[in-house]
Amino acid sequence: MAINNFLLFSLTFQLLLLLRGSSESSRITGDVSRTPKKFLELAKSPDLFDWMVSIRRKIHENPELGFEEYETSKLIRSELDLMGVKYRYPVAITGVVGYIGTGEPPFVALRADMDALPMQEDVEWAHKSKVPGKMHACGHDGHVAMLLGAAKMLQEHRQDLQGTVVLIFQPAEEVFAGAKKMIEEGALKHVEAIFGIHLTNRVPFGKTASLAGSLLAGSGFFEAVVTGKGGHAAIPQHTIDPVIAASSVVLSLQHLVSRETDPLDSKVVTVSMVHGGNAFNVIPDSITLGGTLRAFTGFSQLQQGVKEVITKQATVHRCNASVNLTPHGKEQVPPLVNDMDLYKQFKNMVGDLLGEESFVEASPVMGGEDFSYFAEAIPGHFSFLGMQDETKSYASTHSSLYRVNEDALPYGAAMHASMAVRYLKDKDSKGSNSKKDRTLKPLSDFITTLFIVHWIFL
Ligand SMILES: [Zn+2]
Ligand SMILES: [Zn+2]
């Protein structure tokens, strides 16, 4: 009996150890857990670095505006073809959506924007824009190069991916909210989280900045035509002067922020254009004015306020006003809100990849970014990658003197790749643990109960 009991105890104990061992091994994720730390080394290797720089320079020489990024898109697709990465095209006219990994869930997306700005480059260098009046002055050429760099590394480590990385090359960030159109055309299908990176000269080189919650404001535009009745400037009583009405509109719009907004709630209303009249002695028939509004909360109320102030102030001065809130097709963009969990994952990843001191807690800014459409649809995280070098000064974005510090490209590529791998790895370990909980725990509980019952009754 004692021998039987001993044998049963021994067998049961070994079975329990076996079950415990198998649940431990389900947490081991092989190469995936070690790969992220290699990505910066890989991205800095001369081959990959020079390749990213050459791609960035090609795109810089041939800047294309929103929804016209045909050559940029073609270059991206030819590089993905060479890597053997499958993709969907066209998505939102020129957009490309690539897929690396198992083709199975979970799906995590990385995003780069592709469009340039309608401005003349004033930087004299070998790869200056070859298209007069168009320039990559927001670093989107660098963003494409960084994401292609990440794609190359991820494709080489595709056997380590526990899911699918979705590469989103998006058109028309600057004006036409290309992100919105990408979502409408299914770019986020199956995707459960998305990450975006923007180069900036406001953060030191090699560091990255973000925050949890509201990072960038919602932004929108307005254009209004205030119409009166023109006439001789010396006989104003026979006119309905739109200049006075428009002047009143400009001043009254300031009260929306200074008098009607909680001082602790940041908002901006800026009138940046006033056009009208072309003679010293003629009162014009109409004045056109326009500008932008920014807010983290209450964006649609602010829009409504802008519309009311313009039309009602025009009426006070016996004029009419029409207001367009999407002038020249310029779409409004919602506030960009970073997901708390993704922010924590991102911060941990930066600590592992670059060191904790390389993470900078960002302050919210009133600028807008259409990545907010993605982050509104699914959990998203947007960060800034620093390129400010103490030895050189870099002009701000949207400046004709804007330059990208190309030494930052490997950092962006490594951050993209590391974040995707980490996200999939975390999802996999959570999935493994919950699977273990669902299947192994009841079985081990059952055997433990058998074991106890056996000792009590025999
Ligand atoms: Zn921009
Ligand atoms: Zn930008």
Rounded to 5 degrees, φ, ψ at 230 are: -75, 170
> Model confidence over 185-244: pLDDT tens digits?
999 999 999 999 999 999 999 999 999 999 999 999 999 999 999 999 999 999 999 999
- Please determine, for residue 12, whether its predicted confidence score (pLDDT) is greater than 80: no
- Please determine, for residue 454, whether its predicted confidence score (pLDDT) is greater than 60: no
Cα(383) to ligand 2 centroid in Å equals 12
- Please determine, for residue 441, whether its predicted confidence score (pLDDT) is greater than 50: no
| CATH label of the domain that carries residue 246 | 3.30.70.360
- Please determine, for residue 401, whether its predicted confidence score (pLDDT) is greater than 80: yes
What is residue 247's predicted lDDT score, i.e. its pLDDT? Answer: 98
Is residue 154, in this structure, part of any structural domain at all?
A: yes
Cα(173) to ligand 2 centroid in Å equals 7
Q: What is the average per-residue pLDDT within 131-137? A: 98
Cα(181) to ligand 1 centroid in Å equals 18
Is residue 456, in this structure, part of any structural domain at all?
A: no
> Model confidence over 154-163: pLDDT tens digits?
999 999 899 9
* Residue ranges making up the domain that contains 54: 30-214+335-432
Same domain, 244 and 316: yes
Q: How many domains does one find in the chain?
A: 2
Last residue of a domain, one of 287, 314, 329: 329
The share of the chain scoring above pLDDT 90, in percent, equals 81
> Model confidence over 77-127: pLDDT tens digits?
999 999 999 999 999 999 999 999 999 999 999 999 999 999 999 999 999
> Model confidence over 275-297: pLDDT tens digits?
999 999 999 999 999 999 999 99
Ligand closest to 179 (CA) is 2
Cα(294) to ligand 2 centroid in Å equals 17
Residues lining ligand 1 (ion), CB within 5 A? 138
- Please determine, for residue 458, whether its predicted confidence score (pLDDT) is greater than 90: no
Cα(368) to ligand 1 centroid in Å equals 9
Last residue of a domain, one of 309, 329, 349: 329
Annotated binding site for Mn(2+): 138, 140, 174, 198, 398
Last residue of a domain, one of 307, 329, 351: 329
Is residue 22, in this structure, part of any structural domain at all?
A: no
Cα(202) to ligand 1 centroid in Å equals 14
Cα(285) to ligand 2 centroid in Å equals 38
Ligand closest to 143 (CA) is 2
Lowest mean pLDDT among 115-119, 178-182, 372-376, 434-438: 434-438
Same domain, 283 and 156: no
Residue type, 372: S
Same domain, 301 and 400: no
Ligand closest to 336 (CA) is 2
Cα(31) to ligand 1 centroid in Å equals 38
What tokens were used for 449?
A: 């109960």
Same domain, 357 and 297: no
Cα(137) to ligand 2 centroid in Å equals 8
Q: Which long-range contacts (CB under 8 A, 24 or more apart) does 282-285 make?
A: 282/230, 282/231, 282/232, 282/233, 283/228, 283/230, 283/231, 283/232, 283/233, 283/236, 283/239, 283/241, 283/242, 283/243, 284/230, 284/242, 284/243, 285/227, 285/228, 285/229, 285/230, 285/242
| CATH label of the domain that carries residue 159 | 3.40.630.10
